[in-house]
C-alpha cells in the first residue's frame, strides 16, 4: 500500500510542479551564484567568529554581505517558484501523514502550533 501511495504522489501534479521547480532551481546560474556567494560569506563569518579576537568591523561587513545575498536569493523568481512548489509538496505529504495517523488513531493531528492555543495538548 505504501508503494502504491508513493507512486500516486509521484504521479501527482503537485510533485510534477515541485520536480520542475527543483530542476529550474538547480539549472539557474544566477541563483546558484547567489547561493554560492551566500555560502562563502557564511564560511567567512564562521571563520572570523572562531578567531581568538574577531574583527567587529570585518564581521559587520560579512554580515552585510550575508544579508544582501540572502535578500537577492529570496527575491529571485526561480527561488520563489521552488519555495512555493516545495511548500505545496510538504503540505501534501503532511496531509497524507495526517490521514494515515487518523486512520490508525482515530484522531486528526493538529495543523497549527499548539503552543499558541494550548487546545491540543501542546
Measured between alpha carbons, how far is 29 from 18 in angstroms, rounded to an integer? 19
Mean pLDDT of 100-104: 92
Mean pLDDT value of segment 75-85: 98
Identify the pLDDT of residue 122: 44
Domains of the chain are 2-116 (1.20.1500.10)
pTM for the full predicted model = 0.80
pLDDT at 44: 98
State the average pLDDT over residues 66-90: 98
pLDDT (mean) for 13-20: 98
Amino acid at each position: 500500500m505504501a508503494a502504491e501511495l508513493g507512486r500516486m504522489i509521484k504521479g501527482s501534479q503537485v510533485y510534477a510542479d515541485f520536480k520542475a521547480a527543483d530542476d529550474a532551481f538547480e539549472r539557474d546560474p544566477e541563483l546558484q551564484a547567489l547561493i554560492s556567494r551566500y555560502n562563502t560569506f557564511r564560511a567567512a563569518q564562521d571563520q572570523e567568529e572562531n578567531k581568538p579576537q574577531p574583527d567587529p568591523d570585518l564581521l559587520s561587513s560579512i554580515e552585510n554581505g550575508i544579508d544582501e545575498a540572502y535578500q537577492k536569493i529570496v527575491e529571485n523568481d526561480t527561488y520563489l517558484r521552488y519555495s512555493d512548489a516545495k511548500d505545496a509538496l510538504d503540505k501534501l505529504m503532511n496531509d497524507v501523514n495526517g490521514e494515515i495517523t487518523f486512520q490508525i488513531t482515530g484522531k486528526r493531528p493538529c495543523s497549527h502550533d499548539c503552543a499558541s492555543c494550548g487546545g491540543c495538548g501542546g
